[in-house]
Amino acid sequence: MNKTWLITGASSGLGRLMTEKLLHKGERVIAALRQPDKLRELQKRYVTHLKVLPIEMTDTDTLRTTVSEAFAWAGRIDVVVSNAGYGLFGAAEELDDQQIGRQLATNLTGSIQLIRAVLPFLRRQGGGRILQVSSEGGQIAYPNFSLYHASKWGIEGFIEAVSQEVAEFAIDFIIAEPGPTATGFAAGLDQATALPCYGNTASGRMRKAVSSGEFEINGDADKTVEMMINCAIEKQPPFRLPLGSTAFANIKKALQARLTMLESLETIACSTDRS
Protein backbone atom coordinates (compact mmCIF):
# COMPACT_ATOMS: atom_id res chain seq x y z
CA MET A 1 0.00 0.00 0.00
CA ASN A 2 1.40 3.39 -1.01
CA LYS A 3 2.22 5.93 1.67
CA THR A 4 2.14 9.71 1.93
CA TRP A 5 5.29 11.55 2.99
CA LEU A 6 5.93 15.10 4.17
CA ILE A 7 9.53 16.17 3.48
CA THR A 8 11.11 19.45 4.54
CA GLY A 9 14.18 20.82 2.81
CA ALA A 10 13.17 19.19 -0.47
CA SER A 11 14.88 21.65 -2.80
CA SER A 12 18.31 19.98 -2.83
CA GLY A 13 20.53 17.30 -1.35
CA LEU A 14 19.02 14.30 0.38
CA GLY A 15 15.57 15.88 0.56
CA ARG A 16 15.35 16.48 -3.17
CA LEU A 17 16.68 13.01 -3.96
CA MET A 18 14.21 11.39 -1.56
CA THR A 19 11.33 13.32 -3.11
CA GLU A 20 12.28 12.15 -6.61
CA LYS A 21 12.77 8.53 -5.53
CA LEU A 22 9.44 8.34 -3.70
CA LEU A 23 7.52 9.84 -6.61
CA HIS A 24 9.16 7.37 -8.96
CA LYS A 25 7.97 4.56 -6.65
CA GLY A 26 4.39 5.85 -6.86
CA GLU A 27 4.26 7.41 -3.38
CA ARG A 28 2.53 10.70 -2.59
CA VAL A 29 4.82 13.48 -1.40
CA ILE A 30 4.24 16.87 0.17
CA ALA A 31 7.48 18.76 -0.41
CA ALA A 32 7.98 21.74 1.90
CA LEU A 33 10.75 24.19 1.00
CA ARG A 34 11.63 27.86 1.12
CA GLN A 35 11.57 28.30 -2.68
CA PRO A 36 8.71 26.24 -4.14
CA ASP A 37 9.63 27.25 -7.70
CA LYS A 38 12.64 24.93 -7.50
CA LEU A 39 10.25 21.98 -7.87
CA ARG A 40 8.12 23.45 -10.65
CA GLU A 41 9.24 20.97 -13.31
CA LEU A 42 8.86 18.03 -10.95
CA GLN A 43 5.37 19.17 -10.04
CA LYS A 44 4.38 19.24 -13.70
CA ARG A 45 5.42 15.58 -14.03
CA TYR A 46 3.63 14.41 -10.88
CA VAL A 47 0.49 16.53 -10.77
CA THR A 48 -1.57 14.21 -8.58
CA HIS A 49 1.21 12.81 -6.41
CA LEU A 50 3.24 15.90 -5.50
CA LYS A 51 2.08 18.84 -3.42
CA VAL A 52 4.58 21.66 -3.02
CA LEU A 53 4.22 24.02 -0.08
CA PRO A 54 6.34 26.96 1.13
CA ILE A 55 7.92 26.65 4.56
CA GLU A 56 10.17 28.82 6.67
CA MET A 57 11.77 26.80 9.46
CA THR A 58 12.57 29.92 11.49
CA ASP A 59 8.97 31.20 11.49
CA THR A 60 6.88 28.98 13.75
CA ASP A 61 3.51 30.45 12.78
CA THR A 62 3.98 29.90 9.04
CA LEU A 63 5.51 26.49 9.74
CA ARG A 64 2.33 25.45 11.56
CA THR A 65 0.21 26.79 8.70
CA THR A 66 2.20 24.68 6.24
CA VAL A 67 1.76 21.55 8.37
CA SER A 68 -2.01 22.15 8.58
CA GLU A 69 -2.22 22.60 4.80
CA ALA A 70 -0.21 19.42 4.27
CA PHE A 71 -2.55 17.29 6.38
CA ALA A 72 -5.62 18.97 4.86
CA TRP A 73 -4.40 18.04 1.38
CA ALA A 74 -3.30 14.51 2.22
CA GLY A 75 -5.88 13.46 4.77
CA ARG A 76 -3.24 11.20 6.31
CA ILE A 77 0.55 11.47 6.36
CA ASP A 78 2.42 8.28 7.13
CA VAL A 79 6.01 9.54 7.33
CA VAL A 80 7.24 13.01 8.23
CA VAL A 81 10.84 13.61 7.15
CA SER A 82 12.46 16.46 9.08
CA ASN A 83 15.34 17.19 6.74
CA ALA A 84 15.70 20.97 6.44
CA GLY A 85 19.02 22.28 7.67
CA TYR A 86 22.50 23.41 6.73
CA GLY A 87 26.03 23.62 8.15
CA LEU A 88 27.75 26.51 9.90
CA PHE A 89 31.55 26.31 9.69
CA GLY A 90 34.16 28.06 11.77
CA ALA A 91 35.79 28.07 15.18
CA ALA A 92 33.34 29.13 17.89
CA GLU A 93 35.19 32.42 18.42
CA GLU A 94 35.01 33.21 14.69
CA LEU A 95 31.22 32.95 14.45
CA ASP A 96 29.05 36.03 14.78
CA ASP A 97 25.81 36.24 16.75
CA GLN A 98 23.62 36.30 13.66
CA GLN A 99 25.19 33.14 12.28
CA ILE A 100 24.72 31.34 15.59
CA GLY A 101 21.10 32.44 15.91
CA ARG A 102 20.20 31.36 12.37
CA GLN A 103 21.92 27.98 12.74
CA LEU A 104 20.05 27.08 15.91
CA ALA A 105 16.76 28.58 14.71
CA THR A 106 16.86 26.48 11.55
CA ASN A 107 18.42 23.17 12.55
CA LEU A 108 17.31 22.89 16.16
CA THR A 109 14.32 25.10 16.97
CA GLY A 110 12.87 24.62 13.49
CA SER A 111 13.07 20.84 13.75
CA ILE A 112 11.60 20.94 17.26
CA GLN A 113 8.68 23.09 16.13
CA LEU A 114 8.05 20.91 13.08
CA ILE A 115 7.80 17.83 15.28
CA ARG A 116 5.55 19.65 17.75
CA ALA A 117 3.32 20.80 14.90
CA VAL A 118 2.80 17.34 13.40
CA LEU A 119 2.27 15.43 16.65
CA PRO A 120 -1.43 16.37 17.15
CA PHE A 121 -2.24 15.29 13.58
CA LEU A 122 -0.35 12.00 13.91
CA ARG A 123 -2.00 11.33 17.26
CA ARG A 124 -5.50 11.97 15.90
CA GLN A 125 -4.94 9.73 12.87
CA GLY A 126 -3.80 6.87 15.10
CA GLY A 127 -0.05 7.02 14.65
CA GLY A 128 2.75 7.73 12.24
CA ARG A 129 6.50 7.92 11.87
CA ILE A 130 8.94 10.82 12.04
CA LEU A 131 12.32 10.45 10.35
CA GLN A 132 14.74 13.06 11.61
CA VAL A 133 17.75 13.60 9.37
CA SER A 134 20.54 14.21 11.86
CA SER A 135 24.18 13.35 11.22
CA GLU A 136 27.08 11.40 12.63
CA GLY A 137 27.60 14.88 14.05
CA GLY A 138 24.77 14.17 16.47
CA GLN A 139 27.03 11.65 18.22
CA ILE A 140 30.58 12.90 17.51
CA ALA A 141 32.26 16.25 16.91
CA TYR A 142 34.71 17.83 14.47
CA PRO A 143 36.50 21.15 15.05
CA ASN A 144 34.84 24.10 13.28
CA PHE A 145 31.36 22.57 13.47
CA SER A 146 30.55 23.45 17.10
CA LEU A 147 27.18 25.10 16.42
CA TYR A 148 26.19 22.51 13.84
CA HIS A 149 26.96 19.82 16.43
CA ALA A 150 25.01 21.75 19.06
CA SER A 151 21.97 21.65 16.79
CA LYS A 152 22.30 17.94 15.99
CA TRP A 153 23.12 16.77 19.53
CA GLY A 154 20.23 18.96 20.67
CA ILE A 155 17.62 17.51 18.32
CA GLU A 156 18.70 13.98 19.15
CA GLY A 157 18.24 14.65 22.87
CA PHE A 158 14.83 16.20 22.19
CA ILE A 159 13.73 13.14 20.23
CA GLU A 160 15.06 10.75 22.90
CA ALA A 161 12.53 12.31 25.29
CA VAL A 162 9.62 12.90 22.90
CA SER A 163 9.77 9.35 21.53
CA GLN A 164 8.94 8.12 25.04
CA GLU A 165 6.10 10.61 25.41
CA VAL A 166 4.25 9.58 22.25
CA ALA A 167 5.06 5.87 21.90
CA GLU A 168 1.65 4.90 23.30
CA PHE A 169 0.02 6.89 20.49
CA ALA A 170 1.75 4.63 17.92
CA ILE A 171 4.07 7.47 16.91
CA ASP A 172 7.70 6.46 16.49
CA PHE A 173 10.97 7.98 15.35
CA ILE A 174 14.04 7.20 13.29
CA ILE A 175 17.16 9.33 13.72
CA ALA A 176 19.21 9.03 10.53
CA GLU A 177 22.92 9.72 11.06
CA PRO A 178 24.75 9.98 7.73
CA GLY A 179 28.48 10.48 7.64
CA PRO A 180 30.14 12.78 5.07
CA THR A 181 28.04 12.24 1.94
CA ALA A 182 28.31 13.61 -1.59
CA THR A 183 25.33 15.97 -1.48
CA GLY A 184 26.80 19.43 -1.94
CA PHE A 185 26.63 20.00 1.83
CA ALA A 186 30.14 21.46 1.94
CA ALA A 187 29.38 23.89 -0.88
CA GLY A 188 26.41 25.20 1.09
CA LEU A 189 28.31 25.85 4.31
CA ASP A 190 27.88 29.23 5.97
CA GLN A 191 31.53 30.01 6.66
CA ALA A 192 32.84 32.38 9.31
CA THR A 193 35.75 34.70 8.57
CA ALA A 194 38.92 32.95 9.70
CA LEU A 195 41.02 34.42 12.51
CA PRO A 196 44.79 34.12 11.82
CA CYS A 197 45.44 32.88 15.37
CA TYR A 198 43.64 29.60 14.54
CA GLY A 199 45.74 28.92 11.44
CA ASN A 200 48.03 26.31 13.03
CA THR A 201 45.40 24.70 15.24
CA ALA A 202 42.93 21.86 14.73
CA SER A 203 40.49 24.48 13.49
CA GLY A 204 42.88 25.76 10.85
CA ARG A 205 43.78 22.25 9.73
CA MET A 206 40.11 21.38 9.34
CA ARG A 207 39.52 24.54 7.30
CA LYS A 208 42.38 23.60 4.97
CA ALA A 209 41.13 20.01 4.64
CA VAL A 210 37.63 21.15 3.68
CA SER A 211 38.77 23.85 1.24
CA SER A 212 41.33 21.59 -0.45
CA GLY A 213 39.04 18.58 -0.77
CA GLU A 214 41.24 16.47 1.52
CA PHE A 215 38.34 15.91 3.92
CA GLU A 216 37.13 12.47 2.89
CA ILE A 217 33.57 12.15 1.64
CA ASN A 218 32.76 8.54 0.89
CA GLY A 219 29.00 8.40 1.48
CA ASP A 220 26.84 7.74 -1.58
CA ALA A 221 23.76 9.99 -1.59
CA ASP A 222 21.63 7.61 -3.66
CA LYS A 223 22.34 4.62 -1.41
CA THR A 224 21.87 6.75 1.70
CA VAL A 225 18.42 7.91 0.64
CA GLU A 226 17.39 4.44 -0.47
CA MET A 227 18.32 3.04 2.94
CA MET A 228 16.39 5.79 4.75
CA ILE A 229 13.31 5.01 2.65
CA ASN A 230 13.63 1.28 3.24
CA CYS A 231 13.97 1.70 7.00
CA ALA A 232 11.11 4.21 7.13
CA ILE A 233 8.67 1.60 5.83
CA GLU A 234 9.88 -1.23 8.07
CA LYS A 235 7.51 -2.39 10.78
CA GLN A 236 10.19 -2.05 13.47
CA PRO A 237 12.99 0.20 12.19
CA PRO A 238 16.12 1.09 14.16
CA PHE A 239 15.78 4.13 16.41
CA ARG A 240 19.20 5.38 15.32
CA LEU A 241 20.40 4.68 11.78
CA PRO A 242 24.11 5.25 11.07
CA LEU A 243 24.74 5.62 7.35
CA GLY A 244 28.14 5.14 5.76
CA SER A 245 31.30 3.41 6.95
CA THR A 246 32.72 6.71 8.24
CA ALA A 247 29.66 7.35 10.40
CA PHE A 248 29.68 3.81 11.76
CA ALA A 249 33.40 3.84 12.61
CA ASN A 250 33.37 7.33 14.13
CA ILE A 251 30.26 6.78 16.24
CA LYS A 252 31.51 3.39 17.45
CA LYS A 253 34.88 4.86 18.44
CA ALA A 254 33.24 7.78 20.25
CA LEU A 255 30.79 5.58 22.16
CA GLN A 256 33.51 3.13 23.20
CA ALA A 257 35.72 5.96 24.46
CA ARG A 258 32.80 7.47 26.36
CA LEU A 259 31.94 4.13 27.97
CA THR A 260 35.56 3.54 28.99
CA MET A 261 35.71 6.99 30.58
CA LEU A 262 32.36 6.46 32.34
CA GLU A 263 33.37 3.11 33.78
CA SER A 264 36.61 4.60 35.13
CA LEU A 265 34.55 7.10 37.12
CA GLU A 266 32.13 4.66 38.76
CA THR A 267 33.70 4.93 42.22
CA ILE A 268 33.74 8.73 42.08
CA ALA A 269 30.17 8.90 40.81
CA CYS A 270 28.77 6.55 43.45
CA SER A 271 30.70 8.27 46.25
CA THR A 272 28.40 11.30 45.94
CA ASP A 273 25.22 9.36 46.82
CA ARG A 274 23.45 10.18 50.08
CA SER A 275 24.75 7.79 52.72
Q: List active site positions.
A: 134, 148, 152
Residue 73: CB atoms within 10 Å = 14
For β-strands 79-82 and 4-8, DSSP reports them as: parallel
Instruction: List Cβ<8 Å contacts ≥24 apart for 196-202.
Output: 198/91, 198/93, 198/94, 201/91, 201/143, 202/143
Residues with Cβ within 8 Å of residue 160, at least 6 apart in sequence: none
CB 133 within 8 Å of CB 83:
yes
For β-strands 128-133 and 240-243, DSSP reports them as: unpaired
The end-to-end CA distance of the chain, in Å, is: 59
